[in-house]
Amino acid sequence: MRFAWFLGLSGLAPFAFGLVTTLNGDWSSSVVDGLAPDGPRIMLSYGAVILSFMGAIHWGTALEREPDRAWPYGVSVLPALYGWLIWGLSLINPAEVGLLMIALALGFVILLIFDLIRGQAGDFPSWYPRMRVVLTLGAAGSLTLAGLYSL
C-alpha cells in the first residue's frame, strides 16, 4: 500500500510541472528553454494517458471479479476514449486548450465517482478509494487551475 501511495503521488509531478509552466512562463523558460508554451500540452497529454490508466484498472477488476459481464469492460475503455478525444480536440483547436483542460479534469472527477461506488461495493482494497480522492484532487485541481488560467 505504501508503495502504491508513493507511485501515485509521484505521478502528480507532471501535473505540477505542467501547472507551473502554464502559470509562470518566465520561470520555466529560464530552466528549460522554450517549454513554457507547452505547459498545457504537457498536462493534456499526460492527463489523457493517466485517465486511460485509471480506466484500465476497471478492466483488471472485471477480469478478476466479473469476467462474464460486459459493462465493466465497456466502462474501462471510456476514460481512454474520452482522454483521446480531449487530446485530439486540442490539436484541432489549440485556442480552446483552457476549456479542454477543464473538460479533462471533469473526466477524472466522473471516474472518481464511479471508483467510489465500486469501492463501496468492495471491488477495490479498502485504502484505494482514499488514495483516488487525494490523487484526483491533485490531478483535477492542477488541470482546472491551469485551464482557468488559460481561458
Q: How far apart are CA 108 and CA 46, in angstroms?
A: 13
- Kindly state the average pLDDT of the residues 114-119: 95
pLDDT digits (tens, 9 = 90+) for 37-75: 578 888 999 999 999 999 999 999 999 988 888 888 998
Q: How confident is the model at residue 26, as a pLDDT? A: 53
Q: Beta-carbon neighbour count of residue 37 at 10 Å?
A: 12
> Looking at residues 129-138, what average pLDDT do you find?
98
CA–CA gap between residue 120 and residue 110 (Å, rounded) = 16
* Strand intervals (E) in 39-137: none
Place of cell 507547452: 38
Per-residue model confidence (pLDDT) at position 66 = 84
How far apart are the C-alpha atoms of 118 and 115, rounded to whole Å?
5
pLDDT of residue 147: 96
